Every structure is written in C-alpha cells, then in structure tokens.
Amino acid sequence: MIAETAGALLGAAGVLAWGARGRSAQLFCPSVWRGPKTPRALALTFDDGPSESTLDLLSLLHTYGVRATFFQLGHHARRLPRTVRRCVEEGHELGNHSDRHHGLWLRSPQFIRDEIERAQESIARLSGAAPRWFRAPYGVRWFGLRPVLRQLGLTHAAWSVLARDYALDAAGIVNHVGPRVRAGAILCFHDGRGMRHSPDISATLGALETLLPRWLDEGYEFLTLSELMQTGGEAAQ
C-alpha cells in the first residue's frame, strides 16, 4: 500500500511538472509551441525586454529586414517607453511576459492576475495595441492562469527552440540553435536578462549576426507570431 501510494504521488508530481513546463502541455492553459511546417517560415521571439540593449537588436533586425515578436515585461516597458514604440514602428509584434518576471509557480491566482494585468495595461497603453500572446516567466504555467488569459484575450506561447543565449557565448548559441531549427519553429531568444538594467546581450547579437543571413540564404521567411499561427499552428483551444 505504501509503495502504491508513493508511486501515485510520484506519478502525479510528474504530470504536474510536465503540465507546468512541457512545451506542448495544455494542462494549465491553451498553449502553442510551433507553427505549421509550411510555408518555410520562422517566428523569432525575444523575452525579458525592453532593455537598453534592445536598440542594438532592432538595428540588427532592420539590417536584415527581419520582423520579430518581443515578449516584454511591464516594468521595463514603463522604464523605456520610446523603445516600446520603436518596436511597433518597425513592424514588430509585442507580447506580454508578466510585469516583473516573477515565477508563477506556487503563487496565488490573485498574484498571477496582478502580474499579467499590470503588464497588459502598460504595454497596451504605451504601444497602442493590446498584446495577443503571453509567455510565462521561465515558461512555467500554473493554477489560475487559464481564466486570466481568457479574460484578457491572451494565448500562452512556449517555444520550439530555446536559444539559451543567457548562458552561452555566441558560438555556443549558434551550435545549439542551428541544428534544431525547422520550418514553423518558434525561436526563443532574449533582449533582456530578467529584471537587470542595461544587460549585456552581445552573445545574442553575435549569434544572430551569423544565424540571420544563414537562415535567409536557406529560404526562411520571418513572421511575427500572430502571422505564423494564422496559418494553422499546433494549439489546443
């Protein structure tokens, strides 16, 4: 009996962990993690901004004519409203990444609601358009998330490939991301580092200086997340 109980608890813990972090999990809310395999397109996404380094990234994207989706923190959006507006002016899409990048696990439904609603209000006010997409900090979903997203008209977006650009140097990012990219992939990079001000994202920029021309030469088109998913990506409603 004890062994059976322990096994059941371990099984339940495994399901909970997968539901919270699994990229294709739908346990706590509808979530997308990739788009269709045709056309030959990618969605480039960036988390944790805007930051003082986002302007360098925007210049790089402009050089290659690439549009992306920026999952922004409400706190940083309020700090850097001009950068928020420049993202929109240059054709990029904005998503909600919570207000202050607190992990949502083991938090109350009210805490989760406050984090998402405050960021949604700030980004919508500064950009002129309410985000359609939410990405949980660290990608971890939790109880209480589903009704908040439904009320705000948000859908959770995970990723196909996590660049790990917060931990690797430029060469390491290229070697990690390059072999994993397929048509329809949602790629998760970072233009910020959590709540840090003036972060060093030189590794991210260096990697993209190699990867962007390579992907363009391979015939990939870069779409915003909304554009990619409009063609019928994998999502549970």
Q: Phi/psi of residue 167, each to 5°?
A: -125, -20
- Give the integer Cα–Cα distance in Å for 200 and 135: 22
Which one of the listed residues 47, 48, 165, 191 is annotated catalytic?
47
Q: How many CB atoms lie within 10 A of CB 63?
A: 11
State yes or no: is 47 an active-site residue.
yes
Catalytic residue among 92, 97, 156, 190, which?
Answer: 190
Provide the token pair at 181. 């990219």
Asked about 190 being catalytic, the answer comes back as yes
First to last CA, the chain: 39
* CB 97 within 8 Å of CB 137: yes
Angle ∠(58,63,67) on CA atoms, nearest 5 = 55
Active site residues: 47, 190
